[in-house]
Structure 1
Amino acid sequence: MELRTVLLVAQPGTTEIRLAAERELRRRAWPLAPSPAAADLLILCGPPPIPTPPWLATLHTQLPPPRTLVALHTPDQAATGLLAHPVHLEGQGAEHPAQRPAQRPAEHAEDEGHSEHAAHEEHREHEGPHSEHGEHGGHEDPHSEHGGHGQHGGHGDHGNHGDHGGHAGHHMEGMAERGDDRDGLRLDRWELAYGPGLADWPAGLVLRVVMQGDVVQEAVAGSVDGVPGSGAAYWHEPWLRAARGAEVTCGEAARRRCGARLDSLGRLLAVAGWADQAARARRLRDAVLAATASRPVDPTVLGALSALTRRVRRSRTLRWLTRGLGQLPAARVRALGVSGPAMVAASEGAGDVYDRIRVWLDETDGSTALFTDTGPLPPDSAALPQHPPSAPLLAALPEMLAGAEFACARLVLASLDPDLDDAVPAPAHAHGHPHAPAPAGSGPSHG
């Protein structure tokens, strides 16, 4: 089997396709690329928008030639062949300004296209500091457990992130300006956009930031342009069916909730650099989601789930890395109408990144007891909120990220894990029901 290095890009509304693609890539042992320049295959979850929007054209041109793009329209296409659906992009037109590298000061010219942090992330992906061989009988060394996380840890020095090129799907156009930073130094201020093409990034999210050095000065969250309305709110789907009178068991809802939490956990652990446990969370996610009432979750999977949540809970380094970071206090939660784990985290603690992780772990553990519950999911457990669950999370992001170093900002975003599927209408083939937002407090809304 030919080995390919893959840049996997999910559009909003394509969660089920993404999950199928990740399973197939893992089966083939095809690695995921840390950046477009390191990939020889771009896999797009969902049909490509026509005409081709700038963000997709940018990603495509950043792949080294010969560039191959495959679009997966359904989950089944992932299993039938990842190379069977090549796409020729239509309507790209003239080069968009975002396709050109942002202008940089001369001292950063040698870093064009591959930042120091991106190279560090690539190294960690293949030689993760959290390897199973470093466990030493369960005794954790707070200085070595997370290896290279000194650059991300605490709230001090996070390494040199002045060059952000390796993170972005594309840059915002614009010139640098000078301004005083938090230490009173005159540093360049750069307007950048981070979005599709970033590993472990919410599907369809574009985060436009003003950076000064490695510090976020301003942030605005939005979505990519040209996204087709072809998706469904996959994580919310059991509750939506129950709200419409369909028979849904509590066990099905519990497995979907557990899968959602493991998906979020895997993304955050990957951002934090704990690659082996991120991969474990995703394998367990797939095993839980594959179970049915007639084919229950294997006991070995349940044991592995318990071991995963126990190990993440006892990680002193992860606690040190995330405690006090990205606080979303209860008063702000109420003002914004935030629901889901972020609301629970604010009511039970400081509402920081660590508290949100802890809520994910609690809900993962609590879901396992209901996996085989064949009782009906009560329709009133799916009362629909006034706003989509992720809209308040996106509204909270600017103030949460302002003043954060870029590595910390990525952890904050991963701990909220906004799901832009909330805003994408369901297709006609998606279980025969129109799209609606997920239930507040009862459904698996991210964040």
Structure 2
Amino acid sequence: MGLTSMLHRLAARHAHVLLVETPGHWLTRVAAEHHLLDRGWRLAQSPADADVLAVCGTPGVELATVADRLWQQMPGPRVRIGIESPEQVRHALDIAEADLRDITRQQTDSRVRRGGRGDQTRPDGHPTGGHGPHGDHAKGGDEHAGHAGHAGVAHGDMDMAPAGIPLANRGEDRDGLELDVLHVRLGPVLAYWPAGLVLRCTLSGDVIVDAQASLTDPSHRTPEHDSASRSGRLFAARRCDNAASLLALAGAHDAASGARQVRDILLDPDGAADAPARLARLTRTVRRSWLLRWSLRRLGSLSRSDLVNRDLPDTLEGDAHDRLLGMLDRASRAVAEESSHRATGQPTVPVEAVAELVRGWDLATARLIVASLDLDAAAPAREVSRV
């Protein structure tokens, strides 16, 4: 029991948290990300890497099904929590830490997993899966579990080998040769990915030859609200958050950390005075980085005529590197002018256009292109809007 106790203490001290962001609740996700990193915890990249499943906001049916599938694939010790607002983050993480240390609870959960049962109620009335409205397990298939087991990549209706390995179909290449054709899905829960966005891709070799984009629970939108006096800072913080995702995917982890720090400063009323200088320093760092320029140049390039033909906003002109700098420049202008940037009346990117932009690229490059679009997950059906 001494070794078991030590392992549980280590799990609680260095927990990895898999965040599920309900579209429209990015402030809750940002607050959870900030506080868990402040505790010395880490962001999990997949269910296999996670100790805690944290669902931010109240998901609709589709996203709740995804969360259930992710929970079923997490190894123990594990905890599931629901966070409805930024104000609940500290308390929810305290609960998660206590439950990770609860040896009796984890042993019970282990027996439940071995028995193949979905959940079990504890004496205090909470399911063993966790606390709050996301502790119960809605039964459902894995049709929408886009990130289950493969860090955001799911295999569609492909034939499966006895060991569970997806088998490829055959398709003709342009030169008449036969290539493997795979059907994979990106999202809706994936690190550095717009919340709720799903891309169903058809791969020929390692190239996306077809893609369809959609949003989970398009009619289930419960966006967070904030005072109009902070809307300029919110606009800038959102741009920094999206820039951090693109920088992290590009491997610029120091710059990504800097973007998250500026984002958190912008969201803190007491620290906003430091934001302009920190944001200007971050922009200079990104602009001077030859490695970023080399990594992102010519990725997803869009000319002025491309924007007109596809009904896309002017902010998407150029390649992924141009759009990264554009995010930071717009954030700087919003901070300097204390503008009031509201969600209504802002340019939007049709969901179908996202699918068009990734065709002809490999999966890794497609993720960079999507991250460069500066998307806002809180959107009506068939659109991804930008704050």
TM bucket, shorter chain? 0.7 to 0.9
State how 1:182-193 maps to structure 2 within 5 Å.
Answer: 185-193=177-185
**In structure 2, what is the Cα distance between the partners aligned to 1:311 and 1:283?**
14
Taking structure 1 as reference, are residues 83 and 363 closer, same or farther at Cα in structure 2, changes over 3 Å only?
same
Taking structure 1 as reference, are residues 227 and 323 closer, same or farther at Cα in structure 2, changes over 3 Å only?
same
Instruction: Give deviations 1:370-418, integer Å, cap 9, x for gaps.
Output: 34x8xxx5xxx86954xx74442x2212221111011111110000132
Three-state SS of the structure 2 residue aligned to 1:298 is: helix
Equivalent residue number for residue 360 of structure 1: 327
Structure 1 residue 420, shift from structure 2 partner: 2.6
Structure 1 residue 209, shift from structure 2 partner: 0.5
Instruction: Give deviations 1:197-248, integer Å, cap 9, x for gaps.
Output: 311111111111001232111111111248843224x6xx66xxxxxxxxx4
2:235 paired with 1:257: yes
**In structure 1, what is the Cα distance between the partners aligned to 2:138 and 2:280?**
50
Aligned match of 2:315 in 338, 344, 354? 344
2:210 paired with 1:218: yes
Structure 1 residue 47, shift from structure 2 partner: 2.3
Three-state SS of the structure 2 residue aligned to 1:219 is: strand
**In structure 1, what is the Cα distance between the partners aligned to 2:63 and 2:201?**
24
Taking structure 1 as reference, are residues 227 and 275 closer, same or farther at Cα in structure 2, changes over 3 Å only?
farther
Question: Equivalent pairs: percent with the same residue?
Answer: 35
Equivalent residue number for residue 276 of structure 1: 254
**In structure 1, what is the Cα distance between the partners aligned to 2:343 and 2:245?**
28
Instruction: Give deviations 1:132-190, integer Å, cap 9, x for gaps.
Output: xxxxxxxxxxxxxxxxxxxxxxxxxxxxxxxxx3442x432224321234676522111
> Does the 8 Å contact 1:12/1:420 carry over to 2?
yes
> Does the 8 Å contact 1:50/1:226 carry over to 2?
no
State how 1:39-438 maps to structure 2 within 5 Å.
Answer: 39-49=50-60, 53-84=64-95, 85=131, 87-93=134-140, 95-96=141-142, 165-168=150-153, 170-175=154-159, 176-181=168-173, 185-225=177-217, 228-232=220-224, 248-249=228-229, 252-291=230-269, 295=270, 297-299=272-274, 301-339=275-313, 343-346=314-317, 351-371=318-338, 384-385=344-345, 389-392=347-350, 394-423=351-380
Runs of 5+ in structure 1 lacking a partner? 103-112, 114-164, 239-247, 425-436, 439-444
Q: Which amino acid aligns with 2:81?
A: V
**In structure 1, what is the Cα distance between the partners aligned to 2:93 and 2:219?**
21
**In structure 2, what is the Cα distance between the partners aligned to 1:100 and 1:283?**
29
Taking structure 1 as reference, are residues 302 and 65 closer, same or farther at Cα in structure 2, changes over 3 Å only?
same
Bigger drift between 330-339 and 70-79 goes to 330-339
**In structure 2, what is the Cα distance between the partners aligned to 1:272 and 1:360?**
15
**In structure 2, what is the Cα distance between the partners aligned to 1:30 and 1:383?**
32
**In structure 2, what is the Cα distance between the partners aligned to 1:285 and 1:211?**
36
**In structure 2, what is the Cα distance between the partners aligned to 1:67 and 1:276?**
29
Taking structure 1 as reference, are residues 318 and 256 closer, same or farther at Cα in structure 2, changes over 3 Å only?
same
Equivalent residue number for residue 140 of structure 1: none
Runs of 5+ in structure 2 lacking a partner? 1-11, 96-130, 160-167
C-alpha RMSD of the superposition: 3.1
**In structure 1, what is the Cα distance between the partners aligned to 2:61 and 2:344?**
33
Equivalent residue number for residue 137 of structure 1: none
> Does the 8 Å contact 1:269/1:277 carry over to 2?
yes
Three-state SS of the structure 2 residue aligned to 1:92 is: coil
Three-state SS of the structure 2 residue aligned to 1:25 is: helix
**In structure 1, what is the Cα distance between the partners aligned to 2:62 and 2:246?**
33
Three-state SS of the structure 1 residue aligned to 2:238 is: helix
